[in-house]
Structure 1
Amino acid sequence: MSFKKYLLTGLLVWLPLAVTIWVLLWLMGLLDGVFQGVVTGLQAISPETDAAFWEQLKHIPGLGPVLVFAGLLLTGAMVSNVAGRWWLGQWERLLTRIPVFKSIYNSVKKVSDTLFSSNGNAFRTALLVQYPRAGSWTIAFQTGSPSGEVASHLGDDFVSVYVPTTPNPTSGFFLMLPRADVIELKMSVDEALTYVISMGSVAPGVGTPPTHP
């Protein structure tokens, strides 16, 4: 009995560390792949005499994530002033004139602007909703409110929500629900995500119980 207990306790100690390292290694591999793709493109348009240099550059471990991170910081700093924003506008106008490419680019840009905007409301609030049927409750996140043609059919008193799946919250379902049917939770988004990923085994901090509207 003690053997099983010690084994599970050791697993609980090492599992979070192992998963964290695995995620970081996966992310580094992804960034390395992006970097090597850029280097390969530069190598294709460079003189053949520089081929050895580009090959050596591709095989430096960890250089990809460092340069990608530095590139993101540099880009953010450049577009934070008037001149940088003007060049960004010119670049975007060029990209939005390319057939097919412009549809994908505009869609991804709208989503990223909505999710990562500092003054946006997407994924700022955790909710309790009835899903997939009345009487069954799950955690969801408010992503905004219906707009355009959809809003004209539903009315104003609706909210857009994202219901994540467990244990992988990157997939889920998009729903539009009456505001009266959702309960706004006091827990933070991080606590709600932990609750979802752990399948309810890791309870968030106990606060004032919410009341049904």
Structure 2
Amino acid sequence: MGASFRKYLVAGLLVWLPLAITIWVLAQVLDVVNGVFGSMLAALALIVPASLRDGLLELRHVPGLGLVILVGSLLVTGVFVANIFGQWLLTQWDRLMSHIPIVKSIYSSVKQVSDTLFSSSGNAFREAVLVQYPRAGSWTIAFVTGTPSGEVACHLEDEHVSIYVPTTPNPTSGFFLIVPRTDIKPLQMTVDEALKYIISMGTVAPMPHGAQPCAAAADAVNRNQPG
């Protein structure tokens, strides 16, 4: 009786836990967006006529309005900077921010990281690989983020790659490593599949790509070896 009760309890937990966590995360994001939206409305209320102030502040109580405005603002901004004039204004804005003390350090660092991660022409987080970490014989999944450059590249022999080794179950923290290209094994799985594999601590294995995934993986390793 006790074993059956525990079995059904765990089965029900596995059904509702992912949904509960998803709702909780979305609620936290929505609270942050609404908080920022409310602060912007409060600041705007200080400069508008008194007759409009009450109506403006009432907008804070409209559910989801802050999220709708945020998404709309992102879309409008994206359309605007996609043309030549928008690109010119964006360049002038970046130049202005790069001349403000303290602000320039934070803004430049965040912009470099975001440009690297989200650029469609970049290579960051476009490939999942296997690497021996934290010791030889112990393997983990990592993501290729690019190749070493500048002074770092001058001190390295042969070809190296920059990789990010995420932690589990929270992949937003991890370790940055520079390793020889010959020490990594490319994987056929996508980045999304690799993230699911990491977050689940190996319990959610991605479906094999192709009829003979091991043969495909061996071909990928051979292509990865220097000529």
TM range (shorter): over 0.9
Structure 2: which amino acid aligns with 1:67? I
Q: CA deviation at 1:103?
A: 1.3
1:112 matched residue in structure 2: 114
Residue 204 (1) aligns with residue 196 (2)? no
Distance in 2 separating the partners of 1:4 and 1:132: 37
Q: CA deviation at 1:156?
A: 5.1
Q: Is 2:165–2:177's contact at 8 Å kept on the other side of the alignment?
A: yes
Among 43, 61, 64, the residue aligned to 1:62: 64
Q: Deviations over 1:123-142 (max 9, x none)?
A: 01001111111111111101
Q: Is 2:158–2:180's contact at 8 Å kept on the other side of the alignment?
A: no
Q: Deviations over 1:2-60 (max 9, x none)?
A: 22211111111111211211121122112112212222222233344443233212222
Residue 89 (1) aligns with residue 81 (2)? no
Structure 1: which amino acid aligns with 2:104? K
Q: CA deviation at 1:114?
A: 0.5
Aligned ranges 1:1-213 → 2 under 5 Å:
1-155=3-157, 157-207=159-209, 208-209=213-214, 210-211=217-218
Structure 1: which amino acid aligns with 2:81? V
Q: Is 2:146–2:163's contact at 8 Å kept on the other side of the alignment?
A: yes
Structure 2: which amino acid aligns with 1:17? L
**TM, length-normalised to structure 2:** 0.88
SS of the residue corresponding to residue 187 of structure 1 reads coil
SS of the residue corresponding to residue 89 of structure 1 reads helix
Structure 2: which amino acid aligns with 1:3? F
Task: Please say which of residues 147-156 and 177-186 is displaced more in the overlay.
Answer: 147-156
Distance in 2 separating the partners of 1:152 and 1:37: 49
SS of the residue corresponding to residue 154 of structure 1 reads coil
Task: Please say which of residues 52-61 and 125-134 is displaced more in the overlay.
Answer: 52-61
- The aligned length equals 213
SS of the residue corresponding to residue 46 of structure 2 reads helix
The change in CA–CA distance for 1:111 and 1:156 in structure 2 (over 3 A counts) is farther
Distance in 1 separating the partners of 2:30 and 2:180: 42
The change in CA–CA distance for 1:155 and 1:39 in structure 2 (over 3 A counts) is farther
SS of the residue corresponding to residue 121 of structure 2 reads coil
Structure 2: which amino acid aligns with 1:176? I
Distance in 2 separating the partners of 1:85 and 1:13: 47
Give structure 2 stretches of 5+ with no counterpart.
none
SS of the residue corresponding to residue 183 of structure 1 reads strand
Structure 1: which amino acid aligns with 2:134? P
SS of the residue corresponding to residue 151 of structure 2 reads helix
Structure 1 runs of 4+ off > 6 angstroms? none
**TM, length-normalised to structure 1:** 0.94
